[in-house]
Structure 1
């Protein structure tokens, strides 16, 4: 199970970590934390040293109810950072968290390697075709509506079957546009309430169809801190607990704020599997 990132094959048969770098002022956990070049480069260096295979850059907050921003503002936030990071860390594998095809193309042209789309092409009808033309890996997430409306769109006849059907359609569409490397993200917290998030985690292995890798983005989300009645800043232990379950259920990538702890989680899970 490999994906091609700028000519390098990344083997996902052993799970990998994707470190989050939010370039937004209003993300639920680390919004506004990285305000200048020094802070950005220090955080990227830290994540790379701790073992992150991918760095995921996002300039549009997708938390529930987040403010909508223009494509010009998103471009202004993210493009200079792509150039900055790659000037310092030219071998870094950058994933671009965007649902806009124009942002995707410009970031890939600037040296990024992966597109991470929360809408799987639903919010920009040109996205899947664009990714196919760019010949880069594509992370497609399950979501209904938009970040502004998704909180009220958590009605399902059968959550897991609905998500399986959604991905069967999206994967077929991506294949028809020539996308070779597809990663599935079930979208924890996106158009799903807390109980549905835990149902999704229990059934994560059921989404591993067509041999496609699954990404789990659970880090410090409300399914943790609301269940435990704590704050996102206190949610690292809960994140590690649920990341362990995700790995045992077959996740190939952990998308996290805390790389060191996720790497430890993978190491221990790999050791457990080697014994049984």
Structure 2
């Protein structure tokens, strides 16, 4: 978890040291009451040796970003990790694309995900897997709007997000009953996105990605993957607020697998607590992704469930608030057991 401040022209970042307690028991803090304890921050600057300071040396309001549940106006309870269920209304998503599904079947699948315990249902009409081709706006709208409308009719209290990078799609989805826009480009693909979200007083998930789905895995490069992503998300939060989106309606996502190498993904997961310094709920989507397959040598997404849940539980230890998953029931059950030990 990282705070950032100017020191001359240098930027300092603050990372909580959860595995290296300083001597003594004073100033011990638990991360969101989850049993993860820390009492120091590693202060990082680019091209400079890091130093470790006590948590007593940082301001209380900043420290609270790591120990208190985030302020949110999205109707979510962060007392326990939140599950976002994935409903891909697409023929070509990397794991669960369905060429033969009717709208009725997609609605039934979405309702099952809600019944299985997801707090947010994320509905997308365009695959953004590596190598995916852009879907025309009209086709994407046609895929998602009817499904959203029918799910809201069957389950009026359902919290729905629309997974899109296009402002016109977002607007139609919000009109149909969605409350959150999950934009993998964080407003970079369509400059009207923030205006639409602000107009409807909706929430937004700001995700980091490098490049477009068509080319994002072509030799991704970072000076420092953690700090580069942090700076990007911080700038996007500022831009969203400037356009009228309340910070309490912003979720951030470092973007596992979106323009990242295996080592990049592992570094993000190991040190994801860095991003709590941004002061927004933190989401990760790593369900069945290819980096899991690289680790366990499983080419097919269908064989990556256990590896995915293992990685997810590690991120919960580091304070991740929202898990975006295909397998809702299995994830909810894993969290129930994990919670017992916190």
Shorter-chain TM-score bucket reads: over 0.9
Q: Would the aligned equivalents of 2:85 and 2:326 in 1 still touch at CA under 8 Å?
A: yes
Structure 2 residue matching 1:245: 3-state secondary structure: helix
Contact kept? 1:2, 1:13, Cα under 8 Å: no
In structure 2, the CA distance between the partners of 1:153 and 1:166, relative to structure 1 (3 Å rule), is: farther
Q: Calculate the TM-score normalised by the size of structure 2.
A: 0.76
Equivalences for 1:30-49 in 2 at 5 Å?
Answer: 30-32=96-98, 35-49=101-115
2:131 is the counterpart of 1:65: yes
CA deviation after TM superposition for structure 1 residue 4, in Å: 2.9
Residue matched to 2:327: 258
Q: Does 1:146 align with 2:208?
A: no
Q: Residue in 2 aligned with 1:88?
A: 154
Structure 1 segments unaligned to the other structure (5+ residues)? none
Cα shift at 1:13: 3.7
SS in 2 for 1:199: helix
Mapped to 1, the partners of 2:271 and 2:294 lie a distance apart of 21
Measure, in 2, the Cα distance between the counterparts of 1:34 and 1:53.
27
1:43-78, CA deviations, whole angstroms, 9 ceiling, x for partnerless residues?
222211211101000101000000221111111111
TM-score, structure 1 length as denominator?
0.94
Q: Is the 8 A contact 1:34 1:40 kept in 2?
A: no
The unaligned stretches of length 5 or more in structure 2 are 1-69
Report Cα offsets for 1:3-30 as digits up to 9, x if no partner. 334xxx2222421100000011110000
Residue 267 of structure 2, aligned match among 194, 199, 202: 199
Partner residue, 2:198: 132
Correspondence for 1:186: 254
CA contact (8 A) 1:17 1:254 kept: yes
Specify the alignment match of 2:32 in structure 1: none
Q: Which of 127, 146, 171 is the matching residue for 1:105?
A: 171
Q: CA deviation at 1:188?
A: 0.4
Q: Distance in 1 between matches of 2:100 and 2:242?
A: 39
Query: Structure 1 CA distance, aligned partners of 2:163 and 2:219?
Result: 22
Q: Secondary structure of 1:95's partner? A: strand
CA contact (8 A) 1:215 1:253 kept: yes
1:97-153 alpha-carbon deviations (Å, 9 max, x no partner)? 000111111111111111000000110011112212221111000001111121125
Q: Which moved more, 1:216-225 or 1:145-154?
A: 145-154
What count of residue pairs does the alignment treat as equivalent?
270
Q: Distance in 1 between matches of 2:332 and 2:101?
A: 26
Query: How far apart, CA to CA, are the structure 2 residues paired with 1:177 and 1:166?
Result: 17
Report the equivalent of 2:118.
52
Q: Can you list the C-alpha shifts for 1:164-196, whole angstroms capped at 9, x where unaligned? A: 110111111111122121101110000001111
Give yes or no for contact 1:2–1:10 (8 Å, CA) kept in 2: no
3-state SS in 2 of match to 1:3: coil
Q: Is the 8 Å Cα contact of residues 240 and 262 (structure 1) preserved in structure 2?
A: yes
Q: How far off its partner does 1:216 sit? A: 0.9
Please give the alpha-carbon distance, in whole angstroms, between the structure 1 residues aligned to 2:207 and 2:100: 25
Instruction: Give the whole-Å Cα distance in 2 for the aligned partners of 1:255 and 1:34.
Output: 24
For each residue in 1:205-236, what CA deviation from the matched residue of structure 2 results, as whole angstroms up to 9, or x when unmatched? Answer: 00112321110100000011122111210111
Paired residue for 1:19, among 70, 76, 85? 85
